[in-house]
Structure 1
Amino acid sequence: MIALPASAVVGGLVTLAIAITHADSTVDDNWYRDGKAINRSLEAENRAARLGLAASLDADGRVRLSSAIAVPWPDRLNLKLRHPTFADQDRNLTLRHLGQGRYEPDEALPDKGEWNVTLAPPDGAWRLYHRLRLGPDGARLGSVEPGR
């Protein structure tokens, strides 16, 4: 007779212990600074749109950057791959300029998965963002465009 209520109490205590040890912070201590960073990020995306910038990612992991108007290509680009659920799989890559808007990463890209891709020069003058799926067959064709 006591086993059922006792098991509910034990289950509740176990659930409470799990919730306390693996708690997610709901409010960041730096919420104001983070909000300002979001505005700067949107401004960078708007600058990319005004420049008509777009990028494509080929099967070799190389990036081809194009622009509607003539812009000087930076010597390096930062490519951030953010996994939507596992932060330990996030990658920050540096791309070096090969000429004519073509860039090559300093290390291999992941073979598969869905990623939030951000491409920007080191000075943050503009930013391209896109959600991209890399296939299990190694196909990496996709585009990175302004906006979400």
Structure 2
Amino acid sequence: MRARPWYREPWVWGLFAGPATVVAAGFVTLWLAVKSDDGLVVDDYYQQGLAVHQVLERERAALRRGVTAEVRWAEGGRRVVVQLAVKEGAPPAVLVLKVIHPTRAGHDQTLRLRAEGGGVFRGALSPLAPGRWVLNLEDEGGTWRLTGDLWYPERPTVQLAPRPASS
């Protein structure tokens, strides 16, 4: 009886299957890592860390001025209406609303909203994907800021009020 060549033995291919699967999975993982960009890492993390104090000061300024806002989404998420109330001082002529996706920076939107009278500001935006969004509302000069969470489309109206600073 003559022995078969090694490549005709089934156990040899069984031994090769494990390492070959690992090599293929490694290439798939490498392709996924190169192809996708999650947008979570920023280059200037140190500068952003230093800016935390400035952000807290802007929230304290909103608290001192008594700034509150109601933000409503209308027309299937294509329009936003902001009702602003300011207890101390005049309301600004322009508001800046940032609609930020918590994990996908490519979905973020920044809107400049002009006053229509009576503290009402309106603007148009691209439709939002369902889920959680972070809202930042501030005056054009960046002297005060309000933040809050939007759960779209479940809760299309958000009340924004400054939070008292913790010690």
Match of 1:99 in 2: 117
Aligned to 1:49: 63
How far off its partner does 1:52 sit? 2.0
In 1, are the aligned partners of 2:39 and 2:105 still within 8 Å (CA)? no
> In structure 2, what is the equivalent of residue 134 of structure 1?
152
State TM-score, norm by structure 2: 0.71
Deviation at 1:73, TM superposition (A): 0.8
Consecutive unaligned residues of structure 2, counting only runs of 5 or more, are: 1-14, 75-79
2:85 to 45, 66, 74: 66
Whether contact under 8 Å (2:85, 2:91) holds in the other structure is no
Q: Which runs of 5+ in 1 are unaligned?
A: none
Structure with the greater alpha carbon radius of gyration: 2
CA offsets, 1:51-98, max 9 Å, x none? 22110023542111113x332111100011011232222111111111
Correspondence for 2:142 among 116, 121, 124: 124
Is the CA contact 1:76–1:122 (under 8 Å) kept in the aligned structure 2? yes
Give the TM-score normalised by structure 1: 0.79
Cα contact 1:130–1:146 (8 A) shared by 2: no
Q: Following the alignment from structure 2 to structure 1, what is the Cα–Cα distance between the partners of residues 135 and 48?
A: 19
Identity %: 33
**1:14 corresponds to which of 20, 23, 28:** 28
> Which one-letter code corresponds to 2:60 in the other structure?
N
Task: Report how many residues are paired.
Answer: 143
Q: Is the 8 A contact 2:138 2:146 kept in 1?
A: yes
Root-mean-square deviation over aligned CA pairs: 2.6
